[in-house]
């Protein structure tokens, strides 16, 4: 986002959130307002909507991005606005931005130009407090683990085998590795630990995959916090922590309703990262959207190798969803960095899931006409419908061509063609290898000793039917960020693995991926300020 994005957003007169809800058939009593322009949807409205038929689900994914990003959120928002202009009742369902990147290098994540969700400052900064609630619940469990060690350790937890770190919603590399419990017996048991960013918390994944409060609590009980010296796993349920964690996220589980600058309803809920977590907004919001709209446009983090694969094999598998088509976002600058072969691979990946690909070429003002035309023609040669999109500049009017292409794809979609990449009963190792070879294009997988031992142990312990969540760089199809384009002849190295039994998947860590980002040399926080009238300035 740039300064102009903020200026555009502030120039728009938003509708009260009750009016936005009315277009969906929701009453004011169905909402819990947070000010004038945002609200949570009450459970009674969610329950009442379940008798309605489902609309169509459209995934927005992308080719491998450049560091600046290719504008998936902008395209998703513009597409929802464009669908409305064609007379189709649409909703956009997105993740909430994380504070760490907002104050770091990435900036805000509410779209851009005339394709934004609003109020952008509030969505980017604190919003309705959901991420804070997840962080509090996560850290409560961490405190209960350390308290258990001090109070006699009846479960025989091995302090060297505690997996549950603490979290904070900020980029802070100094917290990656810490020692807790210093200061003598009264202050805890000294041990090595660390922090992750809140969006990497298993509780964030659980919030996004749970069906309701009861399901959240059941999943929280299955969270594994550590192991005994003999290797027996210890859960949050054994610590009697799940009820308190559920109490802290009770309000956060309700989806948030806001709007685009053109008044299209937007459900912004959940915030897992796409490179270190499963990268999709909540099932609760998506299912609600499907009951309230003809078309739900949703986005998954980064490109098809991360976002789309996890969307299909984790979110859709968990929630029984079947998308009608997938939009692959491309830009001239990304094609210059990664080449048309990269785009072709992502189109191929979409087809691997049985989905029709529609390429959205996010047009920038500086893009030469000849280069735009060449990319569009290349996409058609791949057999993919491709449309130039100017949503940043024109809003929904700049995305009507894409909207029509999506509607055509939805109408011709064959629900029976949709398929997962792997089966539940495959081994964890086979699932990892399948993702690497079929989606990344790798020759194979190398399991490092630490990862291999854990995967074998979890397989034997009955966790083999879980899905796999790959933690990998977003900057390459491979696990090496320095390999652009469509790499070939490479092997994916899995150095570590983590059991997320409550979320329902195993995380496989590749390359040098980190779960706590750091700030850049010049963080965005240096430009963010508040003026004497209380207005946020410098948010980009």
pLDDT at 109: 84
In-domain check, residue 535: no
Helical packing angle, 202-209 and 213-221, nearest 10°: 140
Report DSSP state, residue 120.
H
Other CB atoms within a 10 A radius of the CB of residue 34 amount to 17
101 and 163: one domain? Answer: no
Beta bridge partners of 328: 61, 359
- Cα dihedral sign for 28, 31, 34, 36? negative
pLDDT at 3: 54
The enclosing domain of 380 has a CATH number of: 3.40.50.300
326 and 468: one domain? Answer: no
pLDDT 10s per residue in the chain (540 long)?
445 788 898 899 999 999 999 999 999 999 999 999 999 999 999 999 999 999 999 999 999 999 888 999 999 999 999 999 999 999 999 999 999 989 988 778 899 999 999 999 999 999 999 999 999 999 999 999 999 999 999 999 999 999 999 999 999 999 999 999 999 999 999 999 999 999 999 999 999 999 999 999 999 999 999 999 999 999 999 999 999 999 999 999 999 999 999 999 999 999 999 999 999 999 999 999 999 999 999 999 899 999 999 999 999 999 999 999 999 999 999 999 999 999 999 999 999 999 999 999 999 999 999 999 999 999 999 999 999 999 999 999 999 999 999 999 999 999 999 999 999 999 999 999 999 999 999 999 999 999 999 999 999 999 999 999 999 999 999 999 999 999 999 999 999 999 999 999 999 999 989 999 999 999 999 999 999 988 888 887
Report DSSP state, residue 247.
H
Model confidence over 94-122: pLDDT tens digits? 999 999 989 988 778 899 999 999 999 99
369 and 497: one domain? Answer: no
**374-382: Cβ within 8 A, 24+ apart:** 375/330, 375/332, 375/335, 375/340, 375/343, 378/340, 378/343, 379/330, 379/343, 379/347, 382/343, 382/344, 382/347
**Tokens linked to 278:** 């499963």
**Tokens linked to 244:** 């308190």
Closest CA to 245 of 276, 284, 281, 204: 204
100 and 40: one domain? Answer: yes
Pairing assessment for the beta strands 265-268 and 256-260 based on DSSP bridges:
antiparallel
Model confidence over 339-389: pLDDT tens digits? 999 999 999 999 999 999 999 999 999 999 999 999 999 999 999 999 999
103 and 152: one domain? Answer: no
CA distances for 220 relative to 207, 239, 273, 452, angstroms: 10, 11, 20, 26
355 and 385: one domain? Answer: yes
**Among residues 199, 231, 248, which one ends one of the domains?**
248
Q: What is the pTM of this model?
A: 0.96
In-domain check, residue 225: yes
Pairing assessment for the beta strands 195-197 and 295-299 based on DSSP bridges:
unpaired
In-domain check, residue 515: no
Phi/psi at 112 (5° precision): -160, 160
Spatial separation of the C-alpha atoms in residues 78 and 357, rounded to whole Å? 18
DSSP assignment of 75-97: HHHHHHHHHHHTT--EEEEEPPP
The enclosing domain of 160 has a CATH number of: 3.30.1510.10
Number of domains into which the chain is organized: 3
Pairing assessment for the beta strands 31-33 and 224-228 based on DSSP bridges:
unpaired
Q: In 3-state terms, what secondary structure has residue 301?
A: coil
143 and 223: one domain? Answer: yes
Taking the mean position of all CA atoms in its chain, how far away is CA 289?
17
In-domain check, residue 537: no
CA distances for 152 relative to 155, 180, 191, angstroms: 9, 18, 16
351 and 387: one domain? Answer: yes
244 and 301: one domain? Answer: no
263 and 395: one domain? Answer: yes
- Which segments of 102-150 are extended strands (E)? 111-112, 115-118
Model confidence over 466-509: pLDDT tens digits? 999 999 999 999 999 999 999 999 999 999 999 999 999 999 99
Structural domain boundaries, residue 452: 428-510
Contact present, 194 and 175 (Cβ < 8 Å): yes
The enclosing domain of 497 has a CATH number of: 3.10.410.10
In-domain check, residue 34: yes
328 and 233: one domain? Answer: no
- Cα dihedral sign for 442, 447, 451, 452? positive
């Amino acid at each position: 986002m740039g300064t102009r994005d903020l200026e555009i957003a502030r120039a728009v007169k938003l509708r009260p959130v009750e009016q936005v809800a009315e277009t969906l058939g929701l009453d004011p009593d169905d909402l819990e307002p947070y000010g004038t322009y945002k609200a949570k949807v009450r459970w009674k409205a969610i329950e009442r909507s379940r008798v309605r038929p489902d609309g169509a689900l459209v995934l927005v994914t992308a080719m491998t991005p450049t560091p600046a990003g290719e504008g998936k959120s902008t395209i998703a928002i513009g597409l929802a606005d464009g669908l409305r202009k064609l007379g189709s009742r649409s909703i956009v369902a997105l993740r909430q931005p994380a504070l760490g990147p907002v104050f770091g290098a990435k900036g805000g994540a509410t779209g851009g130009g005339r394709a934004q969700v609003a109020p952008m400052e509030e969505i980017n900064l604190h919003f309705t407090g959901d991420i804070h609630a997840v962080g509090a619940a996560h850290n409560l469990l961490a405190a209960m683990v350390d308290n258990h060690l001090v109070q006699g350790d009846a479960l025989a937890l091995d302090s060297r085998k505690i997996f549950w770190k603490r979290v904070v919603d900020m980029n802070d590399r100094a917290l990656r590795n810490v020692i807790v419990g210093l200061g003598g017996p009264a202050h805890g048991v000294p041990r090595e630990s660390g922090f992750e960013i809140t969006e990497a918390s298993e509780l964030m994944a659980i919030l996004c995959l749970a069906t309701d409060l009861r399901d959240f609590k059941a999943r929280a009980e299955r969270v594994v916090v550590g192991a005994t010296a003999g290797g027996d796993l210890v859960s949050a349920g054994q610590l009697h922590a799940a009820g308190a964690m559920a109490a802290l996220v009770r309000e956060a589980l309700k989806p948030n309703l806001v709007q685009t600058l053109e008044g299209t309803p937007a459900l912004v809920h959940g915030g897992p990262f796409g490179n270190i977590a499963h990268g999709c907004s909540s099932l609760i919001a998506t299912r609600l959207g499907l009951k309230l709209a003809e078309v739900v446009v949703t986005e998954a983090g980064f490109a098809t190798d991360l976002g789309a694969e996890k969307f299909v094999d984790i979110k859709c598998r968990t929630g029984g969803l079947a998308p009608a088509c997938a939009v692959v976002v491309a830009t001239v600058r990304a094609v210059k960095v990664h080449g048309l072969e990269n785009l072709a691979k992502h189109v191929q990946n979409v087809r691997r899931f049985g989905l029709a690909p529609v390429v959205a070429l996010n047009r920038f003002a500086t893009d030469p006409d000849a280069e735009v035309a060449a990319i569009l023609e290349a996409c058609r040669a791949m057999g993919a419908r491709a449309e130039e999109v100017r949503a940043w500049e024109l809003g929904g009017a700049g995305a009507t061509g894409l909207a029509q292409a999506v509607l055509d794809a939805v109408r011709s979609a064959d629900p029976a063609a949709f398929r997962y990449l792997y089966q539940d009963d495959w081994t964890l190792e086979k699932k990892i290898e399948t993702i690497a070879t079929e989606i990344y294009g790798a020759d194979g997988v190398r399991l490092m000793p630490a990862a291999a031992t854990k995967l074998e142990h979890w397989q034997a312990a009955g966790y083999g039917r879980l899905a796999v969540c790959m933690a990998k760089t977003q900057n390459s199809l491979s696990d090496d960020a320095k390999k652009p384009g469509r790499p070939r002849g490479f092997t994916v190295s899995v150095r570590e693995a983590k059991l997320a039994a409550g979320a329902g998947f195993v995380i496989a860590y590749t390359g040098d991926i980190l779960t706590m980002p750091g700030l850049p040399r010049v963080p965005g926080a240096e430009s963010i300020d508040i003026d004497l009238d209380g207005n946020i300035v410098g948010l980009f």
